[in-house]
Amino acid sequence: MPMVAFKEESTAVSGTTGRLLAYRALDVSIALVVLVLTAPLLLVLCLLIRLDSAGPAIFRQRRLGRHRRPFTVHKLRTMRVQCDEGIHRAYVEQLLGGHEQTHADADGRDLYKLAADDRVTRVGRVLRKTSLDELPQIIDVLRGHMSIVGPRPVIPYEADLYPPEYERRFEVKPGITGLWQVNGRNERTYREMVELDIAWARDHSLGLYLSILLRTPLVLLARRGAA
């Protein structure tokens, strides 16, 4: 290999490593601050979940991370225990098959989300509308399985249905927030969601990271696309 080409390749690898380390430092710093600030709130929410329905307050599920590596994601439980996951699996198959169904939210916007899902608890509905159910994923960020910003972590049976062009979303770590979350969320079709995830995988610049981070609180307050 020519010396110039070797130097260019080494510089590219070094630049990528440096960027990954910078993102990791940001992720850990933000996650620690959020964990400290929200710890009392998390305790209260866990108590409300236990009072509202039987079962643990924290929901654990296998998801796929970067390079399709499986990991356990943590969320506040929003459904009753021992629910039939076949309902969601069938809905995902419809979405990926192009047979998308929507339902209108309170403001009349069409959402690509299961409507009138009686598996969701009373507290769970509030948690989903406010996205507070995602808070325990801070632990997954600290463990290195997730980033603050990135694609939504995919359930294995979802990924089994993916066409080859969707694989690029696994080039980066999944995140708590991302382009999909700040660009309409459930108002987007499944294909649009994946395209936004791939856009992040293709150009996950520091500027875009910070932009998504700053936009997320505003989106959460507006509850745009939440269900």
Tell me the C-alpha distance between 188 and 180, whole Å.
8
Tell me the C-alpha distance between 135 and 179, whole Å.
18
Tell me the C-alpha distance between 169 and 99, whole Å.
22
* Beta pairing partners, 110: 104
Tell me the C-alpha distance between 224 and 185, whole Å.
7
Enter the tokens of residue 112: 């690509």
Enter the tokens of residue 133: 């159910």
- pTM value is 0.83
6 has a pLDDT exceeding 50: no
Tell me the pLDDT tens digit for each residue of 10-65.
444 455 677 778 889 999 999 999 999 999 999 999 999 999 999 999 999 999 99
DSSP code string of 117-178: -TTB-HHHHHHHHHTGGGTTHHHHHHTTS-EEESPPPBPHHHHTT--GGGGGGGGS--EEE-
Tell me the C-alpha distance between 187 and 174, whole Å.
20
Report how far Cα 125 is from the mean position of its chain's Cα atoms: 18
Tell me the pLDDT tens digit for each residue of 181-207.
999 887 888 888 999 999 999 988 889
Tell me the pLDDT tens digit for each residue of 56-115.
999 999 999 999 999 999 999 999 988 777 777 777 777 777 666 655 455 545 455 665
Burial of 47 (0-12, 13-18, 19+ CB in 10 A): exposed
* Count of CB atoms situated within 10 Å of the CB of 173: 27
Tell me the C-alpha distance between 223 and 227, whole Å.
9
